[in-house]
A and B are shown apart, each in its own frame.
Chain A
C-alpha cells in the first residue's frame, strides 16, 4: 500500500518469513558478491559515509563517521556487534524486520564486517524475540552453507563468524556499553567513555555496535549507491527510508517503510488512517518513548533527525505513538516515567533516584495532591537530570517530561487547581 520504494520490506508478506531461496531470488547477497569481488573495505566505508546513513537505533549518529573512528587496519581480533535489544515502548520495527526478512541483517553484517575488517560478529537480541532469534539462527546456518559465512568467504580470503546471543531482558542492555558488559557476562552497567568501544570494546578489543536496521541498509547502499540512497529521502539533508512503527490511538497501528522526511500529517492520516473513534489528534511521540512530544502545530514537520531537533524533539527510532484529545498527558508521561524508572540500572544518582522523584511528582499531580511547589520541583528535575546522568537512559527518560513542560504545562496547572485529574471522569 505504500508508494515508497521498498528496500527493507520488499520481501515482507503477512505472517511469513523469507529465507535463502526467496531472499536470493529477490537480489539477496548480490551486494555481498559485488563488494567482495570489486570493492575494498575502504570503498565501502566511504560509500556508507557518502550515503549519509544515520544510525537507526535512536541516537541517529552518522554510521560512516562512527565507522571512521574504527581501527579497521589494526591487527588482532575485532568485533562487530548488532544491537537487537529493542524494548523501548513504541518501538518494534527491528522485530518486524527480522520476522519478515532475517537474511538482510546477516548480509548487512557480513558486508559491515568486511568494511571494518572484523572477524567475529554477535547479534545481541532481546529475550522476548524468540522467533526472530530462531529466524536468525536458520539464516546464519543457510548463509554458512552457502559460503557467505566462515573461512575465506567467496574466495576473497575474508573470514567472518556470526553468533546470536540472547539478552537478559532489561532496557539498559540497549545502551551499547552496557550491552558489551552483558555480552561479556558481567553486570550490565554502562561503561565509562572514553575509552570508546572502537578503541576498547568487547573483551577489551575494538568493537562497533550498530542497530539492526542500520546494518540491514548496507547491502542496499552497496547495490544502489550513495546518491540513490540519499535521493530516497524527502528532505535534502536526509537519506534513505525508515521503518515507522505506528502505535497509540490510530486506526491502523502497523509498521511501514517510508521515506525519511515524510511529514507527520501524512504518517498519521495516510498510514495511520487517522485517529481512532473520530477523535482529534492531540500529541505524539515521534520516535519512541524517549522523545519529546509533538503536538497539532507540528503536523507539517518533516520527520527527519535535523528537522525534529529544530522543534525540540528527536527522530529517535521513528516509533510514532499518537494520543487523542481525551488523553491526560500527565498520566501518559507518568506511564512512560514508570517504565524508565523501573529500567534504570541503578548506577548513577540522577537516573536511580531522580527518575523516582519525577515519578513521585507526577503521581502527586495525577492523584490531585500536587502543588505549585511540586511543579517547581519538576522543572528543577528536568534541568538537573538532563545532561548530567552517566548514560543516555535518564536523558531519554526526561524527553516526554520536557515535552510535557513545553507544551502541556497548563494541564499540570489544571491538575493542581482542580485537585484532581481533569480527564478522569
Chain B
C-alpha cells in the first residue's frame, strides 16, 4: 500500500494505482475523457492534468498515466493544471456541434459534464467547424461523427477489448474518423458497447433514438435474463414502455460490457401479442376470478383423484422466489413437489453444477485473469457471449485458450480449436488418452488455470469428468476452478431448489394420473426436448393453466391463462451459472404504452382510474394470493433462507451490487453413465443454440431480426463427400426427433462424423442439451 497526499488529503491505495484513481477514491473527480476503468489509460485526451509537487517526476502531469508513489504530493486545483484542463476543454469543443438539445446523449454525456467541470464556457474560436460524413452502421447503432472528440474509446472498446474486426481508426490529424471501411451492419456481437463507451453522442442507440430524454427515463438495476451469465444491466423506460437497456457494472461478472443479444433483445416484454389479461375458457376474466377458479379446480381434482392429479411446472426463466413459492403451493395443495424445468437433461446437468461442482466454481472475473483456459463443449458466442469476451482478455494478456468442441467455433481472438465429436469429447474427458496429455501438461504449467464446461453438450457425466480433471490439476497453491455454462437465467436457482431424486416431466406425465397442469413462466412445448409427445399428452389434460408474459404456444392452448410480468416489471432474484445471487429491481409498472404513436398523434386522451392493461402482476404476488396472503419480498426471502440455508446471503442482497455466491455443498454420489454405441452409417447429431433467436426471450424480441440466420445442416466436407451430398443441396436429416429437410452448408472446422444444426425460431426443434444421439443424412426428395 502507498500513501500520498492529494489536495491536502491523504489517501492510501495499492501500489500500481494511478493518481487519477487515487483521487477518485477521495471523491476528487479529475476531469478525464479517454480514461475508462475497463479500458485503462492511454493518455490521448490530455485533460486529466494535475500538478505533482513531490515525486520522481514533478510538474504538470497526466494523472491517468502516473502511478502513485509513497509520500507523493499532488494538487488538482492549482492555477496551472486548471488552466490546462480548461484549454483542453476549449480544444475539444472547437469542432463539437452545439446540438446538445437534440442529441440523444444529452443528459448522460460525459463530454457535457467534463466541459463544465473544466470551466470552459465561452467560445473564442469563430472559424468554421469540421464536418464529417456519417456511416450507416446498421439497425442498432447510429453514428454522428461531427460530435467526435477523438478519445479513441470506441476503437479501444470494439477492436481491442471485444476483438471486432470491422471497425477502426481512419485518417490522421483532425480528420481522424472512426467507423467501418464501408457502410454496413457492425458484425461484432458486442457492437452495442460502443454506445456505452463513447463519452459523447457519436455512437447512440438507434433503437432508442428520439424516444426519451435520459432524465425522463425510469431506470433500475437489473439482470439480463437472456442466458446464464447474469450480466448487470440498467433497463430504462418511460410511459409504461421499456425503451432501452444499457450495461450495468459488476466487476465479478460482466465488468461494464454487454452483448448485443442482451442489449437489443429486450423488446419481448412489449411484444404486440403479449397476453395482458387473464383468460378462462376463452373468456377474459378478472385475475382474482381466474385465481380462485384455479384453486378450486385443483383442490377438487386432488380431493377426487389424489395428489398425482395436479402437476406444477416451474422454470429456469422464473425467479428464485417464484419457483420457491410454487413449491410452497404444492405443499398447500397437497400435491407432489413441482418439476422445476421442462428440460430434464438440462436440469440434471444444472444440478450437477449447483451441487457437485459448487465448491469449485469460477467467476467470470476469474476467467478474465486466468492464463490458461480449456473450454469443453461450449460455443461461447452462442451460449454465453460475455464468456467469449472474458476468454479474449486471457489471450490479450499473453495466455492461451483451447476449445474442445465439435462445432466450428469462432471467437474474436486466436485460440486452439480441437474439433472433437460429442463421443470423442466424452472419451477424452473420461480418461481415454488421445490429446488429453497435451491439455493436462498445458494446465499443469499454468499459473492460474481455469476450465470451462458446457452443461448442454457435456451433460451430468461430462461435467463430473471435468470436475475430476479440475481436482487432479489443482494443487495446494493453485486452484483450478470451473466456469460452467448453463442455458437459463435461473438454471442454477431452479436446480438448487429442486429436491433430489424426483421424476422428470415426461415420467410424471406417464399414464393418466395427471389431470391438471400448471406451467409457471415456461413453454414446455418449445423449451423441452419432447415437444411432440408432450403436445399430445397436454391434449388429454382436463385443465391446463399457464402463467406467462410471452405469447407462447402453450399459453394459446391454456384453459386458464394468468398474465405475469417480465423481470423489468418485477423484483426478484436469479442465480447465475457461477452460483451468484443476482437481484433485479422493478424498472416500470406494466401497462399499455402511452408513448406517441408513429403517425404523430397525441397519447390517448381518454382517462381511466387505472392504467389500461396494467393487470399483469409479478408471479410471486400471484402465487402468494393463491397461498392466501401477500407479504413483502423480504419476508418471502427470510422464509426461503430458513428453508434453504445455502441461500443465506439472500436477505442482504441488493440490486446493482456484485452479489454473494450461494454456499457450496458436498458432491453427491451418482452412478456412472454409459455412453451410447454409435450405429454404423450414422453421424453424431450436434444441436447448438443459434447466436440469436434460440432462447425464448430473444425469439420474441423483434429488434433482433436483423441478426437472425437461416437454418441449415452443417457437415465437414469429407463427410459430405462420403454421404454423396454437396453444399447447397437440400438434405434429409433423420433424427430421433424426426426428419428435418434443410439446405446443406460445409464447414472445415466442424468435427468429422458430426451433423450440426442450430436451434432458433427458424428451426425450433431439435432442442440443445438433449444428449448424444445419432442421425442419418441423405439427399432430399424434392430439390429446391
Contacts and interface: CB of A to CB of B under 8 A. Distances in A.
A388 B172 contact: no
Given A342-B173, A356-B174, A349 B125 contact: no
Interface stretch (B81-89, B99-107, B200-208): B81-89
A147 interface: no
A377 interface: yes
Contacts of A354: 87, 91
Contact of A346 (B65, B168, B175): B175
Nearest to A342: B173
Contact of B174 (A172, A346, A377, A381): A346
A120 B43 CA distance: 31
Nearest to A343: B173
A344 B65 CA distance: 22
A76 B295 CA distance: 78
B150 A192 contact: no
Interface string A317-348: 00000000000000000000000011111111
Contacts of B83: 380, 383-384
A219 B88 CA distance: 47
B43 A192 contact: yes
Contacts of B94: 353, 356-357
B91 A390 contact: no
Contacts of A360: 125, 127
Interface in B41-58: 42-47, 49
Nearest to B177: A346
Interface residues of B, number: 33
Interface in B146-171: 149-150, 152, 168-169, 171
Nearest to A191: B42
B414 to A, nearest CB: 15
B173 A345 contact: yes
Interface string A383-425: 1100111100000000000000000000000000000000000
Contacts of A345: 172-173
B185 interface: no
A352 B65 contact: no
B747 interface: no
Contacts of A261: none
Nearest to B95: A353
B423 interface: no
Contact of B46 (A192, A383, A388): A388
Interface string B172-184: 1111100000000
Interface in B673-718: none
Contacts of B174: 341, 344, 346, 352-353, 356
A349 B88 contact: yes
Contacts of A380: 83, 87
B173 A349 contact: no
B638 interface: no
B124 interface: yes
B46 A390 contact: yes
B172 A170 contact: yes
Interface in A171-191: 172, 187
A16 interface: no
Given A353-B91, A356-B174, A388-B60, A347 B44 contact: yes
Given A349-B45, A384-B83, A357 B173 contact: no
Nearest to A347: B44
Contact of B84 (A341, A347, A352, A384): A384
Nearest to B91: A353
Given A346-B171, A346-B174, A388 B44 contact: no
Contacts of A373: 124
B409 interface: no
A31 interface: no
A338 to B, nearest CB: 11
A322 B59 CA distance: 35
Interface residues of A, number: 30
A345 B42 CA distance: 15
B87 A348 contact: no
A201 interface: no
B44 A390 contact: yes
B92 interface: yes
Interface in B21-68: 42-47, 49, 59-60, 65
A350 interface: yes
A214 to B, nearest CB: 27
A152 B446 CA distance: 38
A349 B150 contact: yes
Contacts of B92: 349, 353
A350 B91 contact: yes
A346 B176 contact: yes
A346 B124 contact: no
B33 to A, nearest CB: 9
A377 B86 CA distance: 13
Interface string B95-130: 100000000000000000000000000001101000
Contacts of A349: 44-47, 88, 91-92, 149-150
A264 to B, nearest CB: 32
Contact of B173 (A341, A381, A388, A390): A341
B45 A348 contact: yes
A352 B176 contact: yes
B58 to A, nearest CB: 13
With most chain B CB atoms within 10 A of its CB, the pick from A187, A352, A357 is A352
Nearest to A389: B46
Contact of A377 (B47, B124, B149, B169): B124
B341 to A, nearest CB: 49
A343 B173 CA distance: 6
Nearest to A374: B124
Contacts of B60: 387-388
A193 B45 CA distance: 16
A344 B171 CA distance: 11
Nearest to B149: A349
Contacts of B150: 346, 349, 352
Nearest to B59: A387
Contacts of A341: 173-174
A172 B173 CA distance: 10
Contacts of B169: 187
Contact of A348 (B43, B124, B171): B43
Given A346-B173, A349-B45, A357-B91, A388 B125 contact: no
Contacts of B65: 192
A191 to B, nearest CB: 10
A388 B176 CA distance: 20
With most chain A CB atoms within 10 A of its CB, the pick from B88, B125, B173, B176 is B173
Nearest to A380: B87
A45 to B, nearest CB: 26
Contacts of A187: 168-169
A332 to B, nearest CB: 21
A390 B47 CA distance: 12
Contacts of B172: 170, 172, 343-346
Nearest to B398: A204
Given A353-B92, A360-B127, A388-B60, A344 B173 contact: yes
Contacts of B124: 373, 377
A122 B92 CA distance: 38
A384 B168 CA distance: 30
Nearest to A344: B173
A357 B95 CA distance: 11
Contacts of A356: 94, 173-174
Nearest to A354: B91
Given A349-B44, A354-B91, 6 more contacts: A192-B43, A343-B172, A352-B173, A357-B94, A388-B84, A390-B44
Interface of A: 170, 172, 187, 192, 341-350, 352-354, 356-357, 360, 373, 377, 380-381, 383-384, 387-390
Query: 5 closest A-B pairs (Cβ-Cβ)?
Result: A346-B176, A353-B91, A384-B87, A344-B173, A360-B127
14 contacts: A192-B43, A192-B65, A341-B174, A343-B172, A343-B173, A345-B173, A352-B173, A353-B91, A354-B91, A357-B90, A384-B83, A388-B60, A389-B46, A390-B44
